[in-house]
Structure 1
Amino acid sequence: MDAATAKALLSPRVLALVLTALFPLSMTVIFLTGLWVCGTFALRVARLALQLTVWRGTNLDKYGARKGGWAVVTGASDGLGREFALQLAEKGFNVALVSRTASKLDKVAQEIAALPGEKVSIIQHPIDFAKAGEQEWARLEAALTPLDIGVLVNNAGLNHSAEWSEFIAAPPQECVDIVSVNVAAAVRMARMLLPGMVSRKRGLLLNVASLAGGTAPAPLWATYSGSKAFLITWAQAVATELAAAKSGVDVLVVMPGYVTGGMAKQVETSFHTPNAARWVRCALASIGLSGGALGMDYVSTPFWAHALMDFGLRQFGLQNTFRKSMHGYLSKERERAAKKQ
């Protein structure tokens, strides 16, 4: 191309003609891209709304309710575990209560026995997951494996003793105990009971994680937060294996936010902060649904307020911002609590 031709092509008149020809095309591309983005988001919002209001989860009869099936609940002595035990018994499961304190298990067993309707069988097995040795695990396995277990709720959990504490200030043994209870015990319980479920072609592995592990890590709860993140990725991998094998066993991780009566001692029940009974009711009604955890296979945020927060943080990429703001907020809460002492 000689200099004269190049000069002619770059003249203002030629450039104006080129831009005029390309402008409609570029606007079309921008319009279609915007339409696709907005349409995809609208469909996700619609799906979220339907899951939280209209759609219902898997009927628990599939797992043996009212058919002699058993539900095993770890951490069953109080909080979410107690509610899982009570509500699963109400739905017709025999219940195996597993937790650390025998006296608390006795109380929960009495509550289950006093429920109206058809009576269910109850067994109790106290075990401290943070300290249990091989003999104690063997006794637990001997008690549970002969049962027709349809549901395992891995609910047992341990948090830091100090309400808010930097990782480097946390007692080393406490960090080990958190991993032992939240991670190792969940893995051992599943490894113990899943083979029986697979052989019966029926079962549900329900892991109780946390928004602090699945949506945005919680500073000042570092080891707890990491342990709950493990539950999610581990369960997704196990679920994929079981689904590929057409085992008939379902796996779901449920992620609560703040729930009164649980580990968050400083919160009170409100319209958007449920008590344990309300949250467990939502969780059991949402088996197979993702709630606010759209796009995460085998994971659910069942309660509406937690679901909206989870959905919003993910869709708008705000997890890092939320994590940093939570660190600032919890640090100030810790300072206020220290001044009151």
Structure 2
Amino acid sequence: MSISSAFCYVGAATTCYWTIQLARYLYCCIRPSSLPRYNPTGKDAWALVTGATGGIGFGFAEELSERGFNVFLHGRNREKLSRRQEELQAKFPNIKYKIIVSDAADIYEDVNLIPNEIGDAKLTVLVNNVGGETQAYRGLTELSYQDVRTTINTNATFMTQITRVLLPVLEKNGPSLILNISSIAAYGMPFVPVYSGTKGFVESFSRALDAEVKARGQDVEVLAIRVGSVRSQSNDVDVGLLVPDSRTMAAASLERVGCGLPLIFGYWGHAIAGVSLDFSPRSFMIKMLANTMDSLKKQAEERQAKRN
């Protein structure tokens, strides 16, 4: 076989691979969501959303309420949770709400008590949304021990522990859903090294847990949603074709439920950004991401200066 023929075969195989990937994603976008499966008529199902006081988490609380789920609102600040509960109750008077106070950044064994707060409620959906980076745009050596611990706890440890203690509840109430929120940062972004690493963990953990529940014959769907830039209180950017607001992001994520994959981009615009990273040479991607992070850092500093 000549070199030119070999390259032709490689090119054809690559084209076929990406055509299949595109077709699969398009199918996932146009097929109806399987979310109603987890809230059948008469079940009075509940969902638990971590990090529900703002951003995508509050968007999930709104969307799940809109779709008939009662909602446990999780956060670390009881006053904020109570205000959000009142806001949601006014908007969705037929939906029931309860609050769960637990600090994801400073997690202890009291996470084991969360099933007691669920009680007899028919919990069928767990949305592991809580996350974030409080020390963005800083290199690894600029972080303190506490900075690293907080980021890992918030984005990885709490998700793992709350899933561990609630999986038996979800199994009992099945069919059930575990929705884990990841980030495009899982590709490996400079100046958020710990955050990027935790999101890589979220994706690997989701794949492994998906394999485990299937191997054990449990009727629990595990789905990780990879998220890009979203407008929220903590990310003050303009909404556009590639940047949705928090509720739009939550709605798009819920539409992916039942897609049959353990990991998928929730919003189509973020999928476009992901494909561009997949096709880019590593050296070019690093330079592009470094420039992007530098631009975001300057924008954040300008906004902070205006506030001061």
TM bracket (short chain): 0.7 to 0.9
Distance apart, 1:28 and its partner CA: 6.9
Distance verdict in 2 for CA 1:307–1:115, change over 3 Å: same
Match of 1:222 in 2: 193
Which residue, 300, 324, 327 being the options, matches 2:264?
300
Match of 1:331 in 2: 294
TM-score (norm 2): 0.88
Match of 2:89 in 1: 113
CA-based RMSD: 2.6
Q: How do 1:245-324 and structure 2 match up within 5 A?
A: 245-261=216-232, 263-265=234-236, 267-289=237-259, 297-314=261-278, 316=279, 318-319=281-282, 321-324=284-287
Structure of higher RCO (CA pairs closer than 8 Å, 6+ residues apart): 2
Alignment of 1:141 onto 2:125: no
Q: Is the 8 A contact 2:107 2:153 kept in 1?
A: no
Q: Deviations over 1:83-108 (max 9, x none)?
A: 11111111111111110111211122
Structure 1: segments with no counterpart, 5+ residues: 1-21, 291-296
Within 1, Cα distance between the matches of 2:301 and 2:95? 47
TM-score (norm 1): 0.80
The number of aligned residues is 303
Query: Percent identity among equivalent residues?
Result: 24
Which amino acid in structure 2 is aligned with residue 158 of structure 1?
Answer: G
Distance verdict in 2 for CA 1:166–1:244, change over 3 Å: same
Match of 1:125 in 2: 100
Over alpha carbons, which structure has the higher Rg?
A: 1
Distance verdict in 2 for CA 1:119–1:173, change over 3 Å: same
Distance apart, 1:264 and its partner CA: 2.8
Distance verdict in 2 for CA 1:99–1:320, change over 3 Å: farther
Match of 1:38 in 2: 15
Give secondary structure in 2 for the equivalent of 1:259: coil
Distance verdict in 2 for CA 1:99–1:335, change over 3 Å: closer
Within 2, Cα distance between the matches of 1:190 and 1:239? 12
Structure 2: segments with no counterpart, 5+ residues: none
Q: Is the 8 A contact 1:80 1:262 kept in 2?
A: no
Give secondary structure in 2 for the equivalent of 1:250: strand
